[in-house]
Every structure is written in C-alpha cells, then in structure tokens.
Structure 1
C-alpha cells in the first residue's frame, strides 16, 4: 500500500470555512488518532479523507453507524462485503445464508462478545451493542485502511478496549476520531490534535500524555 495524503484540504459551510487548509499523510502501518473538542473539525476531516481515498479500499465506520434496524445483526455485518458478490448471491443470502458466511460472521461477533445477538434485528439492540455490530461489519469488510468516527463512544472501559484491540488487529493502518484520550494514546501510533479546523498537534503518541492534549479542550 502506498501512502495516502491530503494536500491543502479545506471545507466550508456556506461561506464559512470550518476546516483547513491543511495537509497530512498516512503511511502504511500508521494509526492516527484525531482528537479535539466537539466541533473542532474531526468528523469533517474524516469525511474529506473518505471522499478522496475511497477508491483505495477504505472501510468507513461512521458515527451514525449506518445500520439497517429491520435486518438482523448477521445481515448488517454481511453488508460489509455486498460489493464483492453478484446481486443474486446477496439476495439468496438475505433468505438463506451460507454456512461458511455464518461461521465467519459468528466468529467475529464472538470476539466482540455479541454472538448471542446474531439473528436479532439491530433495531432491538442497545447503543453499545449497535456499535459493536458496526465494528464487526468493518472487520468483515477487510479493507486496506479504516476510517472510524468515535468507534467506541458508547462502550465502557473493558468493552471499549476489546473493540479497539480488534480494530487494531484488523486494520494496522487507520484514522480514528477519538474522544477518549487514554485509548487514543494506547492504540494509536500518532496523534493529530484539531483545534478550530487546523492541526494544532501532530506527534507520535509515545511522546504525548493526556496532559499534553488537554489544551485542545
């Protein structure tokens, strides 16, 4: 995989610029945490990355999750690979899933401690359970790069750590907007702090502490 980059990227709402211009590069094997207070521009920056990089096998885990409430957990996870199969196979899977697909997805759900919800409609799940389903979907997708917007915001300490570890194992190259600074420093190799739409901090995580990042808030 070649490095991914943004050059002089910017975004505006109407005539009000809310992000940039800024430039950055993402190297293979690098995991970037985007940190900063709400409204700083983290989600906007992720959206720009997805817009420019989506042809490079980028998997997206949006903050809104994008789950279909009427479909089972299994089928929501299966949607991660819809574009890899012909329409007729996807239609058959909706009615009668293959044993191999069930086994693969159940293994992912087991690792995220949600296998018992496999055939339950997503609309019946709690916020934390839904977030784990969305994580399972991007893991099942197996893209080259993960872009995730607050991937563990609805999870407690042990569950959040478990999902972060699964995402780290599945996607060595990633950009994650994070609200939990401890998790950001623990699971990412580089931290970019966004403040008022600009890059205020860009350092290897091992050089930073939570105290160093507090001025962003």
Structure 2
C-alpha cells in the first residue's frame, strides 16, 4: 500500500472542537498504537482515518458492528461481501459454501471459537463478540487494519493471541489501545493523544511504560 498522509484533521461536536488540527503520516509496514485516556480523541481520529482509506482498510470498531441475529460465520463472511456478487452472497446466507467454511473455520480455531461457527452472535459473550469482529477483519484481508480497542474485553492470554494474529495478518495497522504493555510489545510506533492533540509520536524502542503513563 502507499503511505497515508493526514493533514490538519479536525473534529467538532456541538460546536466544540474535540480533535485537532492533527497531521499524521502512516507508512507501509508500520504498526501504530494510539494511546491515551478515554475521551482523548483516539476513536475520533480512527474514524477520520477510516473516512480517508475505507476503500483499502479493514475496520474493527469499538462497538463491533456485528449483526446480532446472524451466525458467527455470516458476520465473519461479511468482511468480503464486496468481493462477490449479490447472488453469491445470498447463496452463502442461505447455505454456506464449503470454500468459505474451510477458510473461516481455521480463523475461528485460532481465536478459540471453532465451536461457535453457527451460533448467532446475540448468544455470545462480550469477549466472543470482540473476537468475531477481529475474525471478520482478518478474513477481509485489506491493505491496512484500523482497530479501536480490539482486545478490551479479553483476558491476558487471549489478548496476546489476538494481537499476535492481527500483527501477523496486517503489515500495516493503526490500533487504539489502553493497555500500555500490549502497545509496546506489538507496535513499533506509539502515537499518544491528549486533549485532542498528538502529545507524543515516537518509535516504540525509545519508550518505556513510564513515558506513556502521563497520557493517562
């Protein structure tokens, strides 16, 4: 993918500016963690970024964006709806085809959810729903991953599994994280957001947890 250049992005709610102006360059091959306290502007920045690159990005939104009444299989399959004809998508809605089942089942196995393939999303726990949204992004195979707190509902071991999978599947990604240790371990660049501005932008190797704590 080509580099992404954001220039002087701003966002306002109710006449009050909550973000920016922010300029940010995202280079191919970078895993960027957005860190900062809740309400600092991380989600807003991710949404603005998605508006710029949605044609080549997979998004894991904080609210997950799942269809509760459909199965885990169908929610993951939605990652590639745009790749197939309407007829082919309808066929998979009625009776999932073997090819798609054989592609999606291994993803769910790696996420510890193989037994949930045909369960409706509404029957899942919060952590299982989060993993379903991650599986959809993995299945999409876009050029860049944008993820907003994709492991917030997961325990330590599974959070590491998910971060490892998304880092392996996407060479370029921007991920909002509250967990400083995960950010430092799985990302090579840290962008700290504070009061709607970029307060820190450094390679991970130059940083320690103590450097990030003032952002919280």
The C-alpha deviation readout for 1:60-110, integer Å capped at 9, x for no partner, is 100000111111100110000011110011101011111110010001001
**Following superposition of structure 1 onto structure 2, how do residues 53-68 of structure 1 map, counting pairs within 5 Å?**
53-55=53-55, 57-68=56-67
Shift of 1:113: 0.9
Q: Equivalent residue of 2:184, what SS?
A: helix
Shift of 1:15: 1.9
Tell me what 1:215 maps to. Answer: 214
The C-alpha deviation readout for 1:104-153, integer Å capped at 9, x for no partner, is 00010011111010010000000011111111000000000000000000
Residue 49 of structure 2 is aligned to residue 49 of structure 1:
yes
Shift of 1:206: 1.1
Q: Equivalent residue of 1:10, what SS?
A: strand
Tell me what 1:30 maps to. Answer: 30
Alignment partners' CA distance in 1, 2:120 and 2:2:
39
Report the aligned-residue RMSD. Answer: 0.6
The C-alpha deviation readout for 1:137-181, integer Å capped at 9, x for no partner, is 000000000000000000010000000000001111000000101
Residue 26 of structure 2 is aligned to residue 20 of structure 1:
no
Shift of 1:43: 0.3
Tell me what 2:7 maps to. Answer: 7
Shift of 1:14: 2.6
Q: Equivalent residue of 2:199, what SS?
A: strand
Tell me what 2:176 maps to. Answer: 177
- What number of residue pairs does the alignment pair up? 216
Q: Equivalent residue of 1:50, what SS?
A: helix
The C-alpha deviation readout for 1:40-66, integer Å capped at 9, x for no partner, is 0000000100011113x1111000001
Tell me what 2:157 maps to. Answer: 158
Q: What TM-score comes out, normalization by structure 2 length?
A: 0.99
Structure 1 runs of 4+ aligned residues shifted over 2 Å read none
Q: Structure 1: where are the runs of 5+ without partners?
A: none
Tell me what 2:82 maps to. Answer: 83
Tell me what 2:117 maps to. Answer: 118
Alignment partners' CA distance in 2, 1:13 and 1:133:
31
Shift of 1:24: 0.7
